[in-house]
Amino acid sequence: MADVQFDLSRQQLLASVIRAYLEASRAQDLLAATLAAKKAYQLQVQQAYLAQRLGTASMLELNEAQAALDGASAKELEDRNELERWQLEVGRLTGLDGKMVYTVDNVLALKPYPESEFQYLANRAMIVNHSVRLAEFAIEVARSEVLAKKSLHMPILALSAAYSDKHDADGFPASRRGSSIGVVFSMPIFSGGGHQAQLRESLSNKDTAQEKLEATRRQVKAQILKALNDMNSGVKLTMAKEKLLLSSKSKLDSTRLGLKVGLRSQLDLLQAEQAYLDAFAGLIESKHRYLTSHVNFALLMGNLDRDMLPRLNSVLS
């Protein structure tokens, strides 16, 4: 039981380190996206100001661009604080430099499990999950306690034997030897109801442990199925976000071209820039949620270090 508890604590610590690292990587990517947005909005403000001075743009377009720039500046402060917080957390958990965080690259290299294996994996978790195993150990301890309390009401037959061989230093008498054997029988009669109360308590503890085991099994099964569903939906969402990013980039390029030929306004370009950067930030979020679902599943299956670490290293660039 102690070995299982130790391994569970080790896996939980490892999961905390991985989650902190992924959060730091996510914050780092979001900060990079915010800085790119701020740079684009600064250019938009300059262009809108010049266009307004030349009379080809309205004050509305300049105000919209300035508002977007101010929003990006505020978002930069939030992202920097978030990044620093998670870098400190990585340093606290590992003792290493929390700034040495890599960017998540090809998360789609991590494949989800097919739905046909969901039930098998859920059943497998009932065997290997640390929380379930600890609950099963608690059942065995409660049963042993019940057996011990029941024995307090039973007759006890004890057999004892002894043998001795002593020699005197003076040589008189030459030696003294002795042996004995005995049988002791005891019958508990009445102890004031204390034994009965202890027995009832141990039986209640056994029932409680059984209920906790069933509740743990149901909870772990629900968590396993949720993690599997998150992985399957996560990979689809990430692919959809990648397509959205490509579409937003195409729209942005078209809007820039339309602005040059007079078919689009500065406001249209600003909206296209915002849509593109929002799509980029959404892709970052979906990637990290997808990785987190893999980490949660590996922790529930008890193979976070053996299965998940090599796969995580393959998607960090």
Q: pLDDT of the chain along its 317 residues, tens only? A: 778 888 888 888 888 998 999 999 999 999 999 998 899 889 888 888 887 777 766 788 888 888 989 999 999 999 999 999 999 999 999 888 888 888 877 777 778 888 888 888 888 888 888 888 888 888 888 888 888 777 777 777 778 888 877 766 565 555 677 788 888 877 777 666 777 787 788 888 888 889 999 999 999 999 999 999 999 999 999 999 999 999 999 999 999 899 888 888 878 888 898 899 899 999 999 998 998 998 898 888 888 777 777 877 777 76
| pLDDT, position 10 | 86
**For the chain, which residues make up each domain, given as ranges?**
2-148+191-313, 154-186
The Cα–Cα gap between 25 and 102 comes to 6
Residue 24 is predicted with a pLDDT of 92
Q: How far apart are CA 113 and CA 139, in angstroms?
A: 33
Contact by Cβ (8 Å): 181, 228: no
Record: fold of 2-148+191-313: Outer membrane efflux proteins (OEP) (1.20.1600)
Write the CB contacts of 315 (distance below 8 Å, at least 6 apart in sequence): 104, 105, 106, 107, 109, 110, 291
Element (DSSP H or E) covering residue 231: helix 194-260
Residue 143 and residue 206 in contact, taking contact as beta carbons nearer than 8 Å? yes
The partner residues of 185 in beta bridges, in order of sequence, read: 157
Q: Model's pTM, two decimal places?
A: 0.76
